[in-house]
Amino acid sequence: MNRTRPARARFLTEVAITSLCYILASLVTFKIVAPIQDLFFPQFPSRASLLFLPHGVRVLAAWLLGWRAVPALAPGVFIVFAFLVGPTALEPSRLAAMAIAVTSAPLVFWVMSRLGWDASPRPDRMPCLACVMTAGVVSSIMIALLTNLVLGTGLEDFVAYFIGDFFGLLFLMMILMFVFRMMRRRGI
């Protein structure tokens, strides 16, 4: 009984931090990035963001947590969907899109590890950031294809989703590299 408390606390901490990061990344994307994008690209036909930071959170969570990223991301993804689409977040196509959003990156990392390309972080080696980017690109393609399939959107949305996912992940990866560098300099 005593051993389950730390595990439960760790799980709840992972869920709280990961979902909060997802929600914050979404707020920055929709409240700051999207209006700026609309200023520079007013004729852009898709509502997709060209800098979709939540994808970076999904991929980094999957890299750091593995399959634990699924329950860690789920509350945040649901809250963001509910914020964006209201009660229609409970429609089957939206629930399917949420399931795709939270499972794709962990699945890609799992398949990579089964193929002998283990990108999981370990204290005895430097992080393979190229592996993380590769997993992010593959999961972005997977998410864009499957989400477009269940929501019935067009090719321009697929391309916009992919571009936004890629640049969102790249942006967060650069921030993460900066944080790692600062931690190394400070001996943390």
Give CA–CA dist 120/122, Å, rounded.
Answer: 6
Q: Is the predicted pLDDT of residue 177 greater than 60, yes or no?
A: yes
Q: Centre a 10 Å sphere on the Cβ of residue 156 and count the other Cβ atoms it contains.
A: 12
Query: What's the pTM?
Result: 0.90
What residue ranges do the domains of the chain occupy? Answer: 4-185
CA distance 46 to 98: 19
Task: Band the pLDDT of 9: cuts 50, 70, 90.
Answer: very high
Reply yes or no on domain 4-185 having CATH 1.10.1760: yes
pLDDT tens for residues 120-163? 888 888 888 889 999 999 999 999 899 888 887 777 778 888 99
